[in-house]
Structure 1
C-alpha cells in the first residue's frame, strides 16, 4: 500500500522537507510514497528579506515571492500533490486533517504520517511573515510600502532581530528624511540569553550611526489612531499617539509593532500542545503521545524559533521519516539533538552588520558581505527548487 505523508505548510521547513522525501525516500519506498503538501500560499515568501522588502522599490516582488508549484513539476503527479488550503481541524484518532481550500470548498485528507510545519506569524499581523494567501500577503505588503513611503516619522517597537533590522534598514534607506525610533523593553537590544553582549553593543552603535533614536526599558501600552489619509480607499498614512509604559506619549505617522510571535496551531487539539500553544514534541520531533504526527520549525518546542536551526531539523526529520516508512532499523528513530552553537546574523542596510557563531562575534564586514548585500535573495530560487538548503546541501 502506498504510504501518504501529508505536510502542512510550505515554508522554510515544510517545502524543503517535501523535496527531500521525494528525492531520497521515494526511491527506497517499497510500496510507494505520496507526498501531499498543503499551504494557503501559492508562492514561497522569502521573508528573511522582508525587513528591506517593506521599503518601496527596494526588492522586486518576484524576488520576494517565488511560485511553489513549478518547483515540484519534476516529480510525478502519482507521488506529489500540492493543495492550496488551510488546515481547519486535526483528528489524530482517525488520521485525518480537515482543510478549507482557497476556493472555499472543504476537503478531508487521510495520512499515514503527518508533518506539521505551519510556522508562526507576528501578533500584529504585519506582513513580515505570510498572513494568509499569497494575494493577501502581497496586498498587505504593498499597503505597508505605501505607508512607509509617505510617513515622515516611523516608530518600531521590538528589540529582537526583526525590530532591530527593520529600524536599521529604514534608517539606511532614508537617512535623515524620516525620523526612525526604536522602542525596546529592556536595557539593550537583542537581550536574548544566547546573544553576546558585545553583539548587542555593536548593533546599538550602528543604529546610532544610522540616526535611529533608541528608547529603552519601555513598552507601548496603547496605540491610538488620530487620523488617516486614504488613497484609492487604502490607508497610506496615519498619525498615531503611542502611550508608553514610562508615562510619556509619542506621536508618529507610522507605528510598527514587531514583537510577539504566535504559532499557527489553532487547528491542533489542545492535548497535543504545551502551555504556550506550541506542539509538544518528544526528543525525536514526534508529537508526544502520537505515533505518526511530527512537528518542525516554529511550531515545535524543542529549541528557539530561529531560521538558523531549520537546516538541522529538516535533515533530522528527512532521516526519521524514512526509518518509519521503510521499516529500516526496526522503526527506531534517533533523537534530535538541538544545536548548542549560538548563531545570529544582523544586518542594517548594506553597510552595517554584525553576527555571532558560538562565542565569537563576527566582523561587521563579513556579515555585511554574506547577508547585508542581498539578504540571500540570490539563493531563493535554488532553495524553493529543492537544490539546496540554506547552509547545507539537499
Structure 2
C-alpha cells in the first residue's frame, strides 16, 4: 500500500484517457465494476466496453441472483458487454500508452483503458502471519471484535477483519460491540462505576446493497428484498452518498448512532 497520491494520480490519468478511448476493459463484476461501467457508459457513450465478471454472474456476493440478472440487462441497454468465467492473468502498459491484457482463456487484448475492479488487498503485511487467515485478514471473533489469534487487547474492525463482508455496515454497526470489549478488557465492570450492558455484534444475514448504473437508476436489495430502479436513483444514483463521506470518515455518524 503506497501513498494515497498514487490512487489520486491513477484516477486523474483515467479521466484524461476516457474521452478519446475506444476500447475499455473492466476486470471485476462486483459493485465497483458494475457502477464504474454504468458511469462511463452513460457519460462517454459509444465506447467498446467489456466487463469480466470473473465468475458465473455479476454481483457474486449477493444471494439474490435476480439482482445480477437485472444489472446485466441494464448494462446491456448501455451497450456494455459482459463476459463470464474469464479473468485477467496479467497486464502490461505499452510504450504508446495502451495496455496489453492477457486473459485466463489464453487470449490477449490491446486496450485504451484497463480498470482493475477486482477488489483491494487487506493492509495487513505489517502484522504477524500467525494472526491472519488464508486471505490475509485478521482472524476475528465477530461478536466481540477481538483478534483471536493475537495477544490480548488486540481488536479488528472493518474490511480487514475475517468476518467482514467488506461493506459499511460491518464497519459501522460493530463499533458498539468493539467499544464494549475494550471497556470490559480494561476492567470496566470492576471500577465501581455504572455497569454497561454487554454488547455483541451480529452480522446482518440478509442482502443489503445499492448499485447505481448511471445517474438514472440501477439495482439494489434492502433487507433481502429487491428494490426498483427508481428507488436506487432516489437513494444513491445522484450523489453516491458523497454527502455522507465526511461523517463516515470522522466517525461522527457512529457517535450519532
Output the TM-score relative to the length of structure 2: 0.86
Note if 1:328 corresponds to 2:189: yes
Pick one of 135, 147, 156 that aligns with 1:276: 135
Cα distance in structure 1, aligned partners of 2:5 and 2:99: 27
Question: Where do 4+ consecutive residues of structure 1 move more than 4 Å?
Answer: 329-334
Who is 2:112 aligned against?
Answer: 253
The offset of 1:310, in angstroms, is 2.0
Cα distance in structure 2, aligned partners of 1:186 and 1:277: 22
- Contact residue 308 and residue 344 of structure 1 kept, 8 A: no
Note if 1:367 corresponds to 2:232: yes
Who is 2:74 aligned against?
Answer: 206
Shift of the 141–224 alpha-carbon distance from structure 1 to 2, 3 Å rule, reads: closer
Who is 1:354 aligned against?
Answer: 219
Who is 1:293 aligned against?
Answer: 154
Higher relative contact order (CA 8 A, sep 6+): 1
Shift of the 317–258 alpha-carbon distance from structure 1 to 2, 3 Å rule, reads: same
Note if 1:387 corresponds to 2:252: yes
Note if 1:266 corresponds to 2:125: yes
Shift of the 269–336 alpha-carbon distance from structure 1 to 2, 3 Å rule, reads: same
- Contact residue 206 and residue 352 of structure 1 kept, 8 A: no
Who is 2:101 aligned against?
Answer: 242
The offset of 1:287, in angstroms, is 1.0
The offset of 1:254, in angstroms, is 1.2
- Contact residue 323 and residue 332 of structure 1 kept, 8 A: no
Who is 1:234 aligned against?
Answer: none
The offset of 1:219, in angstroms, is 1.6
Who is 2:23 aligned against?
Answer: 153
Who is 1:182 aligned against?
Answer: 51
The offset of 1:351, in angstroms, is 0.9
- Contact residue 179 and residue 212 of structure 1 kept, 8 A: yes
Pick one of 314, 320, 343 that aligns with 2:175: 314
Structure with the higher strand share, 1 or 2 = 1
Structure 2: gaps (5+ residues): none
Note if 1:139 corresponds to 2:9: yes
Cα distance in structure 2, aligned partners of 1:132 and 1:313: 28
Cα distance in structure 2, aligned partners of 1:380 and 1:269: 32
Shift of the 367–267 alpha-carbon distance from structure 1 to 2, 3 Å rule, reads: same
- How many equivalent pairs are there? 251
Cα distance in structure 1, aligned partners of 2:84 and 2:122: 27
For the aligned residue pairs, the C-alpha RMSD in angstroms reads 2.5
Output the TM-score relative to the length of structure 1: 0.58
The offset of 1:369, in angstroms, is 1.1
The offset of 1:146, in angstroms, is 2.0
Shift of the 325–147 alpha-carbon distance from structure 1 to 2, 3 Å rule, reads: farther
Structure 1: gaps (5+ residues): 1-130, 229-237
Counterpart mapping for 1:47-66 below 5 A? none
